Structure 1
Amino acid sequence: MLLHEDYVVKEREKSEKIVRLNVDPEKIGYDVQQVHRVLLEDDERFVALESLGGPPSQRIALVTVRDGQVVDGLPSREVAALRSKVIEAAGLASDPAADSKTVEQKSSVRSEQAAPMRRVRFAKTDLILDGERHEATIKHILSNAASRVFIHSTFIRADVVEKFLPELSEAVRRGVRVDMLWGQSEDLEEVATSRRAIEALRANPQIADLGDALKIHPFSTGSHAKILIADSRKGGGFLAVVGSCNWLTSPYKSYEASVVLRDPQIVADVVGVLANITHRHSGIWLDVTNELMRLATQIAKLPSPKGPNATASVVIGAHHNRFVLEARDSARSRIFVTSHRLGPVSESAIIAPLATAASDGQVKGSVFFGRNTGAVKYQTRKRIIAEAASDGVIVEVVESPRLHAKILAWDSDSMVISSLNWLSADPMSYVEPAEVGIFLCGTGLADAVVDNFTSACEAAEVTESR
């Protein structure tokens, strides 16, 4: 597949009919695992990507299309989606009424491939629910890591990182390396606060003593995901934790929800997503991107435990909406949603699908949130709650415990635990992988989550009444 400089293409445009299939890297990016699959044969192994030392440059592939068929210019490997888009663009270009701008807009490319469904072994004890268990989990992971820990949080607070200095220091003494990454925030001040926190941490002598073993990345990844990845001294394998907890800023007092994943296939999928996150915002492959890509490949080759009892899949960006529709169409008794904030999108994104499911009187729709966004005032909140009730959906504000969990659960077995604020963020507007969650379906898993949340609310009411 031959790539050309832009000036070469412009020169050929003077004598040839060329249609540009434009791709916005801010909206599209590319999947580093797909790059791996395209470039390497089965017997080849990814080691690293060497930088040329210069700034990133853009090259253009020229593809020849005649009579609706690609003649030349695409790789020998099958790239069906790209081939289809190229043929579509060529067809639009043959329309005399279509100008180049129209062709470019209609021919823009967006990845719509969902993550694979995995058969996994999952225990209910690997559901992490409430703030204290999340704090215990990150301490346990740091204390038991064998060599590597990756932490991705929305933003960073110096005092929270410093709280884990005993575990971090002990881990570094054992030879563990820790990468801390941070990403998207809706509040620009919080982004600035994260950068100030990093400066404060670098000035901390105890942090400085950890040297290169602790790397706090200075850039924002642009992702809202909350992910922990680490290996273990006990089993030797890697695990991944995905959910709602901002590991590097949380006071660990809120009701949170995360899942611990241990099956190699789904863990490899999460590692691959984190590899994408590290390069997606800038488009530059960093050393940590190389390492995560290599790690994902290694983990994926490990055998899965026998006796799978659940189905799991990574849920990325706009694919969250797929599971809302799945719940709407397949639920038989209950759809349950928790979210940090209630926003303007709540009616179309969640309440309307739940109302559709509840219209036959068989499905109970319940939605819980902790606070409003700034765009939703008190009267608007009252209206949303009242109109939802008239459509058979209960919408309630939860003041205690402080609610930060992002859960979609239906019937007894199926759920998505995520970083996505279901009631205030439109998943269709986010660039993958801005939001990351996990779909799980296994006997009684949704029941376990809903029961735990109900018990936490009841316990909070008893405490407040004393």
Structure 2
Amino acid sequence: MNNIYIPAWHYRAPGIVQRTWGWSPVEEMILLSLDRSPGTINHVSETLKIPRQVVGSTVARLMQFGLVEVRLAPRPVLVTSSIGHDFIRTGRALPERSADREIGISVVYEKVGLSVFRTRDVDTIPVTKLPAKGAIIRFPEGEPPETNYSMMQRVNEFMVGMLRPGEWLRGVQANSSFLEARFLVLDLDEVGSGVFPQGASDQLVEALKATIKTGVLPKTTTPPPERPVSIQTRLSASDIVVGAEQHLQRFEQIVGAAKSNVFVLSTFVASQSDEQGRDRRDRIVRALEDACRRGVRCHLFFGTSLDRSKHAAAMQELYLRLSAVRQTRGFLLVQRDPVESHAKFLVADDGHDGAVVMMGSCNWLHSPFSAVEVSAELREPNAVAEGLDLLREIVSRLSSASRSVEALLFMASELRRQRNMLSTSEEAEAPAATLTILLAADHERLLRVAAHDAQQRFVCCTNKVGANMVPALFDPAEIAGRRLSDVRIYYSRRTGPVKRSHVTKHRERLHGIVDLTGVPEPQLHAKFLAWDADHVVVSSLNWGSQSGLEDNPLDEIGLYLEGPKLATSLLKTFERELE
């Protein structure tokens, strides 16, 4: 048989499919009738000319969702509850009914045309059973292997349109998944006759046709890198949080409202014996303790691989303190290995079928909360789903974080489904901002573009200035300063070989062009870029001391926000913190 062997990955996992139901006209009629005129099942049946049995079962469903209740005085009648009354008066959609079912997912992903096949539709063999010679395409050297995370992404795309009407894939159960490198086996005689497996990509088809024609084996394909994602969202100036106390308050509010999951990624973790800022940091721990008491799952991560054992020990101390609150088995998911990212996240459900994401400069599990911090808070479903995807990709590096990865996947899927089902009035609402996700290497490119494009002002705040401060920050600022009258750089600390005299020399050189301001107190831990009235980047990157690397895109995360007066408002609040 004339076979060709193509490198592939076999992925198998349980998938959770949810079916949702809306409400029928009969159910809405009965709800409206009881809102206008409370009564009995017989009364509703006679008024609406609907069989009594149908009214009875419908009322039972409405009561199950808290939309209808029994009022006992002055006589027992059925009546719309306050919840049902609110749904009617505000024009909101009634709460959906849903049911989950588990399905088996088994797919093969090949590396030439990047096709995804159902396993039952193709033949594969283990790597150990590959023939000694023949038409064999090898796995690409140096390319990282597929992961549970990357395969989950492909499964989500593959399953679109394959489910029953009203169903959607909530996600896969990563802790029960299986991933194996194999080889896809195709018969070139069948391919030459035009027989391809169902789901073969155009790229695979063309590559195989070329092989038959020329005898030259095709090459594997690397998926194209993802560029910064831009989405339309709703965001106001108050969603950019400035200040230490403000971050503490937001943490307490967000974690206090959570009912199911809280995720915290902090670059560092403070020891429980660390006295610096202990009282303020204790508010963070108490908020997590309260969440544990309520049965909220708390997923805790740290980012740095420097002093790894020190931060792992501090995370273990935090685990012991939180686990003392209640029996936390399954509810306290604490990672003692670093995710190797400088990004900082706070993520939680909002207790009302939504979620909130905060990203910025704050090290939630380490900060003494005495420095000026800046973070952006996202609540609009589309933007939050993007934030969840970022955090999921960061933490998926840890095999022990599979349950956290799964929870983030399910949350993002639910938010996107809700976003797609928004009412027409909500969709017609003009977006207040554009959000672009910046990965590590995107920061420097955008800063240089901003330095050339700014028309009114250019302001950057970095915690540190270091060895690369001139090419990374001072030079672009000088370009802006030769055109504009308001160009500022704020910093608090020096790092590496940089001494006070070095910065003083550049301050004198840039006098009248760039206002280079060192602020020792309060320390500026914030990392942001603001230009003109509407443009803001909130980031984890120290613009004046670090460079984002192409080969580690998730090491730094920034949010580029463009919306009315966002920069103006941020700078006004920031300047108040410095007074």
Query: 2-side partners of 1:72 and 1:383: how far apart?
Result: 72
Deviation at 1:346, TM superposition (A): 2.0
> 1:241-296 CA distances to partner (integer Å, 9 max, x unpaired)?
111000111111100000111110000000011110111x3467711111211211
TM-score of the superposed pair, with normalisation by structure 2: 0.65
- Superimposed CA distance per residue, residues 377-421 of structure 1 (whole angstroms, 9 cap, x where no aligned partner): 33333344344x169333221112111000011111001101111
Shift in CA distance, 400/162, structure 1 to aligned 2, threshold 3 Å: closer
Matches within 5 A, 1:131-170: 131-159=244-272, 162-170=282-290
- Which of 390, 397, 400 is equivalent to 1:273? 390
Query: Per the alignment, do residues 288 and 77 of structure 1 end up closer, same or farther by CA in structure 2, a change over 3 Å counting?
Result: farther
1:226 alignment partner in structure 2: 344
Deviation of 1:176 (Å): 1.8
CA contact (8 A) 1:339 1:406 kept: yes
* Aligned counterpart, 2:471: 348
Query: Please, which of 285, 309, 316 is the counterpart of residue 199 of structure 1?
Result: 316
Range 215-224 or range 267-276, more displaced: 215-224
In structure 2, distance between residues paired with 1:399 and 1:60: 60
Alignment of 1:47 with 2:171, yes or no, is: yes
Residues 400, 74 of structure 1: alpha-carbon distance in 2 compared, 3 angstrom cutoff: farther
1:298 aligned to which of 389, 414, 418: 414
Q: Where do 4+ consecutive residues of structure 1 move more than 6 Å?
A: 26-30, 60-65, 71-75
Aligned partner (choices 559, 565, 578) of residue 438 of structure 1: 559
Q: Would the alpha carbon gap of residues 307 and 345 (structure 1) be closer, same or farther in structure 2, given more than 3 Å must change? A: same
Flag the structure with larger Rg: 2
Letter in 2 for 1:444: K
Aligned equivalent of 2:571: 450
Alpha-carbon distance between aligned partners in 1 of 2:128 and 2:512, rounded to the nearest angstrom:
59
Shift of 1:74: 11
| Corresponding residue of 2:43 | none
Which amino acid letter does the alignment assign opposite residue 480 of structure 2? A
Cα separation, 2, equivalents of 1:419 and 1:400: 20
Q: Report the equivalent of 1:414.
A: 535
1:403 aligns with 2:524: yes
| Counterpart secondary structure, 1:220 | coil
Match of 1:463 in 2: none
Query: In the alignment, is the contact (CA less than 8 A) between 2:529 and 2:536 conserved in 1?
Result: yes
Is 2:459 the partner of 1:336?
A: yes
Question: Following the alignment from structure 2 to structure 1, what is the Cα–Cα distance between the partners of residues 464 and 148?
Answer: 29
**Conserved? CA contact 2:284–2:365, under 8 Å:** no
Distance 1:16 1:260 in 2: 53
- Does 1:182 find its partner at 2:298? no
Name the aligned partner's letter for residue 142 of structure 1: V
Contact 1:243–1:418 (Cα < 8 Å) also in 2: yes
Give CA deviations for 1:314-363 in whole Å, capped at 9, x if unaligned.
2222222332133123211211111111112222222222223333x236
Letter in 1 for 2:561: L
CA apart distance, 1:59: 4.8
Query: What code does the residue aligned with 2:446 have?
Result: F
Number of residue pairs matched by the alignment: 427
Change (3 A) 1:64 1:223: farther
1:145, 1:403 → 2: CA distance? Answer: 30
Which ranges of structure 1 fall in alignment gaps of 5 or more residues? Answer: 66-70, 95-103, 460-466
For the residues of structure 2 that align with 1:117 and 1:59, how far apart are their CA atoms?
Answer: 36
In structure 1, C-alpha distance between the alignment counterparts of 2:480 and 2:146, rounded to whole Å = 32
Q: TM-score, normalised on structure 1? A: 0.79
Amino acid at match of 1:25: P
Letter of the aligned partner of 1:47 in structure 2? G
Moved more, 250-259 or 306-315: 306-315
Q: Confirm or deny: 8 A CA contact 2:360 2:375 kept in the other structure.
A: yes
**Contact 2:289–2:325 under 8 Å retained in 1:** no
Cα RMSD (Å) of the superposition?
3.8
